[in-house]
């Protein structure tokens, strides 16, 4: 679990700093010149009658004052400088050994946590493994006479998992991919067919080719159907072969596969959109974010903190990862449907639950410029089955940081094997039937204003 927390914090830092390499800045410098002339008219009349005709000149005087001012004006325009930037992609695949499947299910996101280990030899299942990518990026490829919709990309880490046999896993840091897209629909959310070819180089060496049907991005969410073929090699003593239970020297992997995938915080641009300023881009979600952390005081019997008493200031915690709340185009566009990669809810010792891909519906209520109220209902299915009703008062401090006050009620139970790490931290998940009140912090978590929602434009 310590590794999980470190990963969360590292991801928050990287996500909050990603603007630096995803934005193209253009500046125009203008010189503004202001020429101002002031004329002062003064009539000097002496006492008595005077004939100011031909003999006497006029007593009127004119004083002119001319001022020249110059200043520089700099206009800064910011544009997206990528075709795709994504934080996490997961694909559940069929193609490995069905008798020793990893058992992660559809999208590759539903493992039995107690069975996840390098020593596991799996079980019988249709979805035998998965493909996992973190920190995915694609940029425009200007080859082929500047042909449209070609990209070159990579990811921080890619792992191809045919089945539970760890020695057959293929993985690489910064694999190189070429992709070509054919768009069926160029309206949000986009629908396209994508052909891809990629090369992994360390610690495994492999070639991965695929054809996919892509739907998204909307609020950073995407769904894909894959068909592909991968051929690779694990040398003796690399990351995968040296930890295999049979101490195999090397492994050759040949894998045709089909799969269904889902990605989070994964944003796409058409070529035309890279010439549209950030401030003019359309948004489809009220909230998109990396993580929300909360400290909870609940009606549980005991606090989860080591040595804490029943009078502790907080008894549990909540961690919600990779969130999106999509605006629905009716009733002032304030109803939303949302999903998260995972939601860990700890009410107290022996009272907790974890849901992967929990779904929630709610109503977004803007109160002031940076203040909003978010009543919601959430349903978790696996590995904990629960229903959760609550409300969150949000205060945006910056575009990627916010604080909130949360309250709610959750009821459910856990049927799957959760694994020893969770048991050691939070005890056995005996019951989940508590009300709670708490404070939360959103990191890499952005709230959008009504004027930014594309249905309101």
pLDDT tens readout for residues 428-453:
887 889 999 999 999 999 999 999 99
Question: What residues are paired with 383 via a beta bridge?
Answer: 355
Region for 122 from its dihedrals, namely left if φ exceeds 0, alpha if ψ lies in -120 to 50, beta otherwise? left
Report which of 105, 80, 75 is spatially closest to residue 90, judged by C-alpha positions. 105
SS3 of residue 67 by DSSP: strand
Break the chain into its structural domains and give their ranges.
28-43+53-78, 80-275, 282-456
SS percent in the chain: helix, strand, coil, step 5? 15, 55, 30
Question: pLDDT below 50 — which residues of the chain?
Answer: 1-19
Q: Are 287 and 445 in contact (CB under 8 A)?
A: yes
SS3 of residue 293 by DSSP: strand
Q: Are 285 and 266 in contact (CB under 8 A)?
A: no
Cα→Cα distances 151→185, 193, 440, Å: 18, 14, 39
CA 389 to chain centre: 24
CATH 3.90.380 fits 80-275, yes or no: no
- The whole-number pLDDT of residue 187 equals 92
- The whole-number pLDDT of residue 16 equals 45
CATH number for region 282-456: 2.40.160
CA distance 220 to 73: 36
CB burial readout 272-283, b (16+ within 10 A) else e: eeeeeeeeeeeb
Tell me the CA end-to-end span of the chain in Å, nearest whole number: 44
CA distance 357 to 213: 21
- The whole-number pLDDT of residue 5 equals 47
Report which of 132, 133, 131, 179 is spatially closest to residue 156, judged by C-alpha positions. 133
**282-456 shares the fold of 80-275:** yes
């Amino acid at each position: 679990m310590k590794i999980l927390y470190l990963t969360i914090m590292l991801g928050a830092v990287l996500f909050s700093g990603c603007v630096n390499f995803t934005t193209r800045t253009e500046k125009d410098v203008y010189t503004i010149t202001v020429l101002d002339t002031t004329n002062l008219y003064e009539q000097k009349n002496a006492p008595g009658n005077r004939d100011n005709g031909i003999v006497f000149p006029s007593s009127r005087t004119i004083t002119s004052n001319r001022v020249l001012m110059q200043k520089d004006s700099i206009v800064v325009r910011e544009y997206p400088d990528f075709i795709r930037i994504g934080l996490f992609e997961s694909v559940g695949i069929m193609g490995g050994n069905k008798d020793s499947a990893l058992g992660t299910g559809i999208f590759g996101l539903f493992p039995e946590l107690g069975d996840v280990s390098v020593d596991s030899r799996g079980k019988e299942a249709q979805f035998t493994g998965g493909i996992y990518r973190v920190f995915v990026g694609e940029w425009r490829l200007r080859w082929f006479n500047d042909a449209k919709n070609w990209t070159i990309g990579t990811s921080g880490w890619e792992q191809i998992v045919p089945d539970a046999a760890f020695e057959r896993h293929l993985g690489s840091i910064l694999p190189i991919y070429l992709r070509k897209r054919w768009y069926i629909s160029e309206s949000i959310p986009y629908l396209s067919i994508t052909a891809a070819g990629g090369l992994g180089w360390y610690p495994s060496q492999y070639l991965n080719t695929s054809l996919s049907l892509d739907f998204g991005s909307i609020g950073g969410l995407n769904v894909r159907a894959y068909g592909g073929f991968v051929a690779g090699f694990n040398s003796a003593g690399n990351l995968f072969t040296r930890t295999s239970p049979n101490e195999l020297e090397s492994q050759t992997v040949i894998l045709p596969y089909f799969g269904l995938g889902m990605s989070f915080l994964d944003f796409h641009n058409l070529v035309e959109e890279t010439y549209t300023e950030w401030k003019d881009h359309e948004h489809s979600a009220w909230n998109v974010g990396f993580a929300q952390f909360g400290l909870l005081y609940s009606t549980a019997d005991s606090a989860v903190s080591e040595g804490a008493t029943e009078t502790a200031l907080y008894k549990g915690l909540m961690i919600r990862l990779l969130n999106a709340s999509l605006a629905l185009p009716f009733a002032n566009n304030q109803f939303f449907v949302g999903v998260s990669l995972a939601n860990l809810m700890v009410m107290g010792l022996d009272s907790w639950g974890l849901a992967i891909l929990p779904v929630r519906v709610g109503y977004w209520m803007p109160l002031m410029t940076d203040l909003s109220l978010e009543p919601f209902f959430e349903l978790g299915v696996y590995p904990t089955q629960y229903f959760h009703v609550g409300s969150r008062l949000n205060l945006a401090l910056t575009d990627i940081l916010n604080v909130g006050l949360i309250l709610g009620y959750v009821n459910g139970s856990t049927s799957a094997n959760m694994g020893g790490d969770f048991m050691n931290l939070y005890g056995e998940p005996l019951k989940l039937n508590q009300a709670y009140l708490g404070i939360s912090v959103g990191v890499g978590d952005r709230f959008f204003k009504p004027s930014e929602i594309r249905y309101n434009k």
